[in-house]
């Protein structure tokens, strides 16, 4: 799912940029809007809530998307496998 509400055990965990509900894996891309102190505080709180709910949150930055997105793909693949994906 892309930019859709994530709800785990009845708790709303925001709208991740990408989300695999069955595996509880979320991806957030950290663009320029994440550089303010206020947004960083919200991001930390969100990550803690997601971790407590048993989710893995993969965070990416622009550099992860260069060279065919290999770095981002590797990080997401690792998280999916850790949560039980066999692909």
Question: What does the pLDDT average to over 64-79?
Answer: 91
Q: What is the mean pLDDT of the chain?
A: 92
Q: What percent of the chain has pLDDT over 70?
A: 98
77 by Cβ neighbours in 10 Å (0-12 / 13-18 / 19+) ranks as: middle
Does the structure show a pLDDT above 80 at 21?
Answer: yes
Residue 33's pLDDT band, with cuts at 50, 70 and 90, is confident
Task: For the chain, count helices (H), then strands (E).
Answer: 2, 5
CA distance linking residue 51 with residue 86, whole number of Å: 22
CA–CA distances in Å: residue 75 to residues 4, 60, 71: 21, 9, 6
CA distance linking residue 33 with residue 61, whole number of Å: 12
């Amino acid at each position: 799912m892309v930019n859709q509400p994530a709800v785990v055990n009845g708790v709303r965990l925001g709208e991740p940029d990408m989300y695999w509900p069955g595996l509880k894996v979320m991806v957030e891309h950290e663009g320029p809007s994440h550089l303010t102190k206020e947004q960083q505080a919200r991001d930390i709180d969100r990550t803690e809530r997601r971790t407590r709910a048993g989710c893995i949150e993969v965070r990416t930055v622009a550099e992860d998307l260069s060279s065919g997105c290999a770095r981002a793909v590797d990080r997401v693949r690792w998280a999916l496998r850790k949560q039980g994906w066999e692909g």
